A = this chain, B = another copy of it.
């Protein structure tokens, strides 16, 4: 399996700039993270944008779809902010023969208690075993894109139907 990774920004990539007492979306973390974790995967990474997912536009989503369609690889992993993840997943449906999994993090990868490693692991594990389609891997679960919602109160992803 050769894997193509498209990064779009979101909490997973957030870093803290003391100079501005502010956080910002930084460099995509996933490439270094996979290498540091000893992942024996063949993968390429492209950065499509660096945005909070609340700020993603229809044009951004069209671009992500274009990139996912254009790449040679059948297996595509997308790192993404959590708030707009379901909407982007919906915009990716219908790409014949592609297995697409979106993931991200509720706490930045730079944090001691981040869910980034776990979520990326879950996405990578699922990608190797799924049929073509669009999925979200969050909170240790693999959801079909038509059966998932972010529960903002509880700050986690849930199935529409159990």
Contact = CB atoms under 8 A, between A and B. Distances in A.
Interface string A81-121: 11100000000000000000000001110111111011111
Nearest to A124: B140
Interface string A69-90: 0000000000001110000000
Contacts of A122: 121-122, 124-125
A88 B155 CA distance: 37
B113 A36 contact: yes
Contacts of A19: 152, 155
A142 B152 CA distance: 32
A83 B83 CA distance: 32
A106 B18 contact: yes
A40 B158 contact: yes
B115 A142 contact: no
Interface residues of A, number: 53
Contacts of A118: 37, 39, 117-118, 120-121
Given A125-B123, A126-B129, A139 B39 contact: yes
Nearest to A106: B18
B115 A112 contact: no
Nearest to A130: B129
A6 interface: no
